[in-house]
Chains A and B, each alone.
Chain A
């Protein structure tokens, strides 16, 4: 018994050590990014590995805010990501509900088709897509980014799985109460699928926030660029403004981290029901 206790203690200590090591590895590049954002270019290039935050220079941040259109880029990214996520969640919820709760012709075929199509490399579709957007007069507007990304097959998949787990009785009683199907989805279903919304939302947010190629091609005015493209424009043919790029990246991961901290409970809970059932 005593031996067992000792063993358990060693195990615990070992696990904690392991956890710390993994945490450091996971955190290191981000930590480095953070530290670099406070350094001058020559401090960043320093070969003597300097892990401590040697300086707290805010010049990179000041330069970024004052000499570039960073504020616009950031606002654009936030607005586009939020709108895409909202629209995407609405679309995926009702479409997912249709796929999960009704029997109709081609149901499986439609689902399979959607699922397969996301695997096509996007370079191939960018030119035809740009053509469509320009015919609709959507290029250089938020719509050109919101519309394609709101259709998110992975989010649809998660939604569908989750919606399959809702008890049929609940829906039936709603129908007996005289609600039509749309009213039922809005009033009864939507309020109880918060976790799935968290999980599907994270998928859409991740895809939209960090995308590069689509916003690069679709948006032209400097004020309408998104963060990823804007930061990349600081990297010219010969010169890389590491300090400013790092500062910009630090600011750009913050919203994601904050969102994760707020929604992680729902996110995890949504995944439990959404993905576990497979």
Chain B
């Protein structure tokens, strides 16, 4: 027995040590395997569609995508950048917080490519998240513009004509009325506490109102009246309308959805793909209308944007050039991006791909009318300066307001003060 145990121990240990040698990568010529870090359906898409398509152009190259959670990916990527080792050949980043990762000595420079494709990547300002000192250090892959989702049979049952909802004021009036008549019904879902994920959710409202926290120089806008107005509206909505308040990913939301207890979902395009996975039996129930305006004579008519994916290539990688080629290929491949839309309902940043979807809308998304609802609006300009920190401060400010500690005006003043004090902007 003892001998068996000893043998087992030695075996196990040597197994561990032997596996160390696996780390030596062959850098010799021949077939190249590019590593790609991603999350969600992207990963499946890369492995099953995009990599084989890329292989037709570069027969020696295989792209192997690995799935990680998005925030885990961001952490891991950061560790590898700091250590200078262990980075993948290419990766996707959460675009709205990617600013701090963009350092020109470390990431591949896509400026030439982006200039060549100038005008073909939509929503110019969001693209600027990826530019530092005039250099583009990443390629935007997709984005998630906001839309108002609703339960159509439920709306019909209640005798609501959603086409009358043009502005948020229309929405508010209708919501208050239904709240009174049907006290058991949730008019809409919203993220609360805001400090969890809500920050970005409420930011979509701000963005659609044409408001901004920072100006183009990255300075906090003082006496931001527009922002106060948005906050006042959000507070009113929170106080007078029956909302289902949930932190992110609260599974109970799906149950309420399924029981037809929720009328509206102010969300973004990704929500359709999410619903398809979580409540597939609601197929045909959920429809969309454009994100309401803040006033009827808004021009341009803005909507918000949840965020999106950025493709980056660490410059130190042995195959940086070919990995960059892959990213360019992925971000401009109409077929791949079209498929990407139907699985994730992330809108391609590459305009020709988006136009292709609009033109050939034979295969509807889970939530009906989604593409029409989002294309009649333009994504509002937004400056994502110091976004990771700002998101935290913004969430705290909103929670102070929703928690009843501060009035909307005070809450905004508080937020502004914090931003200036902590970030020195």
Contacts and interface: CB of A to CB of B under 8 A. Distances in A.
Interface stretch (B104-112, B177-185, B250-258, B284-292): B250-258
A131 B23 contact: no
A236 interface: yes
Interface string B351-374: 000000000000000000000000
Contact of B274 (A45, A232, A238): A238
A222 interface: yes
Interface residues of A, number: 40
Contacts of A139: 23, 85-86
Contacts of B72: 216, 229, 232-233
Contact of B83 (A45, A130, A239): A130
B265 interface: no
Interface stretch (B52-60, B61-69, B131-139): B61-69
A85 to B, nearest CB: 10
Interface string B2-25: 000000010011011101101110
Nearest to B38: A236
A141 B22 contact: yes
Contact of A86 (B9, B19, B39, B88): B9
A207 interface: no
Interface string A216-243: 1100111000000100110111111010
Contacts of A202: none
Nearest to A239: B277
A127 B67 contact: no
A220 B86 contact: yes
B79 interface: yes
A44 to B, nearest CB: 7
Contacts of B83: 127, 130-131, 134
Contacts of A126: 79
Measured as residues with beta carbon below 8 angstroms from the partner, the interface class of chain B is 35 or more
B86 A235 contact: no
Given A79-B16, A87-B13, A239 B23 contact: no
User: Which of B85, B94, B256, B273 has the most chain A CB atoms inside 10 A of its CB?
Assistant: B85
B155 interface: no
B75 interface: yes
B75 A83 contact: no
A42 interface: yes
Which DSSP category, helix, strand, loop or mixed, fits chain A's interface?
Answer: helix
Given A42-B258, A47-B256, A140-B86, A217 B75 contact: yes
Nearest to B256: A47
B254 A217 contact: no
Interface in B30-83: 35, 39-41, 66-70, 72, 75-76, 79-80, 82-83
B278 interface: yes
Contacts of A131: 82-83, 85
B270 interface: yes
A171 interface: no
B6 to A, nearest CB: 10
B20 A137 contact: yes
Nearest to A48: B255
B124 interface: no
A142 interface: yes
B86 A141 contact: no
Contact of B66 (A86, A222, A242): A222
Contacts of B251: 41, 44-45, 240, 242
Contacts of A220: 35, 66, 76, 86, 88
Contact of B255 (A42, A141, A239, A240): A42
Nearest to A41: B278
User: Which of B16, B20, B75, B270 has the most chain A CB atoms inside 10 A of its CB?
Assistant: B16
Interface in A38-88: 41-42, 44-47, 79-80, 82-83, 86-87
20 contacts: A45-B252, A79-B15, A83-B13, A86-B9, A87-B13, A131-B82, A131-B85, A134-B83, A134-B84, A137-B20, A137-B24, A142-B20, A216-B72, A220-B66, A220-B76, A235-B249, A236-B40, A237-B70, A238-B40, A238-B249
